[in-house]
Amino acid sequence: MQVDGYVEGVITSEKTLIISAEGRVKAQVTADKVIINGLFDGELFANTVEILPQGKAHGVIHTDDLCIERGGSFIGETQATAQDQVLSLAKKEPQNETAADNRIESKA
């Protein structure tokens, strides 16, 4: 998901969230990876966070993998993700109806 405009609220993504240079996000974000090249203000939960040279982040970042490139800025607080803080997104498992149909039953 890529944000090129303004978003306010709650964002949840199982994949990567990209805040482009034109993007502005004021939200609570939960994602696998977040790349910030615009402006972020809020609380962020992610496995990986990258703040690029034009990126500016303000708030609380919960991650174990934070990278701030030269020129990027972050004002706020970072916290390591504890097991009880990590929000795991439930993955939908496809129902395999053919597996049930392919069972072999032996009749004796």
User: Residue type for 40, please?
Assistant: F
What is the maximum span of the chain, computed from C-alpha positions, in angstroms? 75
Q: How many CB atoms lie within 10 A of CB 35?
A: 20
pLDDT at residue 45, rounded to an integer: 94
Q: Tens of pLDDT along 15-69?
A: 999 999 999 999 999 999 999 999 999 999 999 999 999 999 999 999 999 999 9
Q: How many CB atoms lie within 10 A of CB 3?
A: 20
DSSP string, 49-65: EEE-TT-EEEEEEE-S-
pLDDT over threshold 80, residue 84: no
Question: What is the rounded CA–CA span in Å between residue 19 and residue 39?
Answer: 7
Question: What is the rounded CA–CA span in Å between residue 81 and residue 48?
Answer: 11
Handedness of CA 36, 74, 44, 25 (dihedral sign): negative
pLDDT over threshold 90, residue 86: no
Domain ranges of the chain: 2-82
